[in-house]
Amino acid sequence: MAGSGSGAGVRDAGPAPRAPHAGTSDGARSGGWIEGDPVGDRRFLDLPVDAAEPFRLERGGTLPAVRVAYETWGTPAPGGGNAVLVEHALTGDSHVVGPAGPGQPTPGWWPTLVGPGAPLDSDRWFVVCANVLGGCQGTTGPSSTAPDGAPWGSRFPEVTIGDQVSVEAALADALGVDRWTAVLGGSMGGMRALEWAVARPDRVGGLLFLASGAVATADQIGTQTTQQTAIRSDPRWAGGDYAPGEGPVAGLGTARRIAHLSYRSGVELEARFGARVQDDGRFAVASYLDHHAAKLATRFDAGSYVVLTEAMNSWDVGRGRSGMEAALRRVSARAVVAGVDSDRLYPPALQQRVADALGLPLRMITSPYGHDGFLLETEAVGALVRELLTA
């Protein structure tokens, strides 16, 4: 298996799991707001700014306009020279840190990472995070209103990771950011961070690529298409044209249960739940999955879930670039590549391949939490962020 930055082999899942953490999965809330986390400035941008041309997508679709919801912390320096872009994962959004509130139904998903004196020190850096194209937290997606006044629904076009980065590039232009000091993200956010560094190397000074891959694997595609099938099989899916306020809640919940099992490690689940049965007759692990399924249904759109997992399935940084290794030769940013030793969805071998192509050691986060370790191990992630920004 892959080696860590110290040259040692990839470790086992590490020590026995700690007490149950309040965390959740892949971009969802990872423990809630921490006292002292700053409140960001949430805004919206309508693209294209000049409204002269529709937004043209890689797979041939178009959108007449795109609204981007984004949040910022800190103050931009002249020319945007202190700007850092944070990329959220599948069910995340622009609200990196801070409490729930108007327009933000849940607390920040990466607590303690942004703020005065934090790894992303808002007294020094201008931190930006945008809700992704195809999402459902303020940026244009399937639940958004189309020009005819009805939701886009099944008419929403296919989008790619490249399309999402193109929208972020337009946002950067509008913010006056010519070059990001760093772009960082994990899981689906790591895909966009890597796409930035490959597609626009002159605009990226630093890259943190965390718990992700450079191309979708058969295992990931199979897992995600199964989740999509769960949603589409719900009678309330209605071909993707369900009414606002209704929809395939049961199918979305099943998709979440499938996904959540891939986000956590078997070691952690066994230590926390084993085969224990609750007083109500349910297996404890099943109750745990039910809880996360219900939580997602209150804040996420099923159409966005399908669109975004399809974008993840089509991800290949080497497509149209003569393969992955050739694509990664375009990267000029200083970079940190890291994985989670117990990650079974994006195992460390995937990050090792990127690290090898960039001529870097692979940094390893030890965690019992599987893929979710990139969200929950904030101290270890914070150390990598500080390292990247002080290099």
Report the relative pairing of strands 126-130 and 362-365 from DSSP bridges: unpaired
DSSP states along 251-287: HHHHHHHHHHHHHS-HHHHHHHTTT-B-TTSSBHHHH
The alpha carbon of residue 215 and the mean position of all alpha carbons in its chain are separated, in whole angstroms, by: 15
> Residue written as tokens 């937290």?
137
State the Cα–Cα distance between residues 158 and 147, nearest whole angstrom. 18
SS3 148: coil
Q: Which of 355, 226, 308 is nearest to 26 (CA)?
A: 308
Mark whether 291 is an active-site residue: no
Residue 162 and residue 156 in contact, taking contact as beta carbons nearer than 8 Å: no
What radius of gyration do the chain's Cα atoms show?
A: 20
State the Cα–Cα distance between residues 71 and 246, nearest whole angstrom. 28
State the Cα–Cα distance between residues 212 and 194, nearest whole angstrom. 9
Mark whether 187 is an active-site residue: yes
Q: Which helix (H) or strand (E) holds 335?
A: strand 334-340
Q: Which residues pair with 66 in a beta bridge?
A: 47
Dump strand ranges (E) for 135-253.
182-186, 206-210
How many Cβ atoms are within 10 Å of 76's Cβ, its own excluded? 16
Q: Which of 179, 174, 185, 184 is nearest to 201 (CA)?
A: 179
Catalytic position from the list 122, 187, 262, 342? 187
Catalytic position from the list 342, 343, 367, 372? 343
Q: Which helix (H) or strand (E) holds 168?
A: helix 161-175
Supply 330's token pair.
């375009």
Supply 269's token pair.
């689940």
State the Cα–Cα distance between residues 79 and 176, nearest whole angstrom. 6
State the Cα–Cα distance between residues 29 and 25, nearest whole angstrom. 7
Give me the sign of the Cα torsion angle 26, 108, 170, 178: negative
Amino acid at 169: A
Mark whether 371 is an active-site residue: yes
Enzyme catalytic residues: 187, 343, 371
